[in-house]
Structures are given as C-alpha cells and as structure tokens.
Amino acid sequence: MLHIVNKSPFQTSTLDTCLSMAQPGHALLLIEDGIYAATAGSTTEARMRAACSQLKVYALQPDMDARGVTGKLIEGITLVDYAGFVDLTVEHNTSNSWL
C-alpha cells in the first residue's frame, strides 16, 4: 500500500495517524506541506527515521524545492519527481491519501 500525506506535521496529526496505521513494507509519499516531515532538524526527524526502518519513505522533490528544504532531506528518504510519483501509484495496487 502507498500512503500519501500532504499536510504539515506541524499543523495536523495526519502523519501520526498514518504512521500508526502503516504496516511494515508499505510505502509513504510526502507531498505538498507533508514534505516538512522529511526535513532534518525538525521535531519529526526521530519519527521519520523510525518510519524509514519499516517503510519505504519518499518525498516529492518539486515540493521540497519549492519550499527551499531539499538540502535538509533526512537520510533514508528518497526524492521522487512527478514521474516517480506516477510510478509509485502504479507499483502499489492500493493507495490512501491522508487528508
């Protein structure tokens, strides 16, 4: 399953809810303001590092670039472009957008 989170972890509990429901081997894609969870030095860093040990975690590079945080990407999180986003949706037969 592909989990897609687009909300900032500093404004909602969407990411925490998603992480509590995700199973080992699932994938997580952070898009829009959800990419802030992928930044080193934030209060979410420890949770995201733990998530990387059980999930495949991705962040949408154009959203990281637009917010100027690409250089702060947490190690273990993979950047993808829009084509990579499409590839992830094709690779996973189910997805859940956490709104």
Show Cβ contacts of residue 16 under 8 Å, excluding neighbours closer than 6 positions.
9, 47
Identity of the residue numbered 88: L
Task: Tell me what pLDDT residue 85 has.
Answer: 98
Domain segments of the chain as ranges: 2-98
Condensed to tens digits (0 to 9), the pLDDT of residues 59-94 reads: 999 999 999 999 999 999 999 999 999 999 999 999
Task: Tell me what pLDDT residue 99 has.
Answer: 87
May I ask the CATH architecture of the domain 2-98?
3-Layer(aba) Sandwich (3.40)
Task: Tell me what pLDDT residue 61 has.
Answer: 98
Query: Coil, helix or strand for 49?
Result: helix
Query: Coil, helix or strand for 90?
Result: helix
What CA–CA distance (Å, rounded) separates 42 from 98? 21
Enter the pTM of the model: 0.96
Task: Tell me what pLDDT residue 82 has.
Answer: 98
Task: Tell me what pLDDT residue 94 has.
Answer: 97
Condensed to tens digits (0 to 9), the pLDDT of residues 18-66 reads: 999 999 999 999 999 999 999 999 999 999 999 999 999 999 999 999 9
